Amino acid sequence: DQQVKQNSPSLSVQEGRISILNCDYTNSMFDYFLWYKKYPAEGPTFLISISSIKDKNEDGRFTVFLNKSAKHLSLHIVPSQPGDSAVYFCAASARGSSNTGKLIFGQGTTLQVKP
């Protein structure tokens, strides 16, 4: 079962516009969410995170929104730049000894920002 889903395999936006990447989850025990960016031949790079006690976290051009009732989170990138072109992964974790260290990832969304 896919507990974290990124339903859009790809997204294309124009430079300077907003990019919105979406992520849905099914496990109500998830209480910490992260976004990672991955370039080819590199490991995932941490971008931003949010705890379930918040509904928004902002870091420069990146903002993550969490809607717990809908079990949905989104990453907004404003303004988008060509260097943002990469695969973006949403990940989630839950507290508890059986979940120690375990990040559950979505399948990823490939973002292309056109100049």
Partner 1 sequence: ETGVTQSPTHLIKTRGQQVTLRCSSQSGHNTVSWYQQALGQGPQFIFQYYREEENGRGNFPPRFSGLQFPNYSSELNVNALELDDSALYLCASSLPGAERETQYFGPGTRLLVL
CB closer to partner 1 out of 6 and 85: 6
Q: Which structure tokens are listed for 1? A: 């079962």
The SS3 call for residue 83 is helix
CB closer to partner 1 out of 57 and 115: 57
Minimum CB distance to partner 1, residue 91 (Å)? 8
C-alpha 10 chain-centroid distance: 13
Q: How many Cβ atoms sit within 10 Å of the Cβ of residue 115?
A: 7
Q: Which residues make up the interface to partner 1 (CB under 8 A)? A: 4, 32, 34, 36, 41-46, 49, 51, 89, 91, 93, 97-108
CB closer to partner 1 out of 69 and 100: 100
Minimum CB distance to partner 1, residue 37 (Å)? 11
d(CA 27, CA 1): 11
